[in-house]
Amino acid sequence: MAISRRTLIERIDRFIRSIENHKGEPDHWEGHCTLQALAEVNAGDVERAEAKLILAKTPPALREPQDKASVPADGRVPTAAELRLELERIRSLALTS
């Protein structure tokens, strides 16, 4: 059974908060995958967003080479503040729709 958009937004919020509380900033993988999850939530594709969030949570030792290929090495890593800002923007849109 698919989860709701609101539930997924809450899960992304908890993940970003865990980064803020424990590490301060996401690593390249976490930042890229979380940004993709946010984009999918914004587009309304909750299932794809959930899959991207699961990838974002993958510990470094368990990240598969084929998954790493989808994370651009030369892209700038979004900060935790940028992820939080995008999440709040999407959350406010979800509340008004």
> What mean pLDDT is predicted for residues 18-27?
93
Widest CA span in the chain: 40
What is the tens place of the pLDDT at every residue in 85-97?
Answer: 999 999 998 777 6
Query: What's the pLDDT score for residue 49?
Result: 96
Closest by CA to 32, choosing from 74, 83, 65, 77, is: 77
Q: Which position has the higher pLDDT, 67 or 27?
A: 27
Angle at 93 between CA 89 and CA 97, to 5 degrees: 175
Instruction: Report pLDDT digits (tens) over 46-78.
Output: 999 999 999 999 998 888 776 665 666 667 789
Domain ranges of the chain: 5-96
- pLDDT band with cut points at 50, 70 and 90 for residue 20: very high
The neighbour count for residue 78, using CB atoms within 10 Å, is 20
Nearby residues of 87 by Cβ (< 8 Å), 6 or more positions away: 9, 12, 13, 16, 38
Please compute, for residue 55, the number of CA atoms within 13 A of its CA located in the half-sphere on the CB side: 24
pLDDT for residue 96: 78
Type and span of the H or E element at 24: none
* Gyration radius (Cα) of the chain, Å: 13
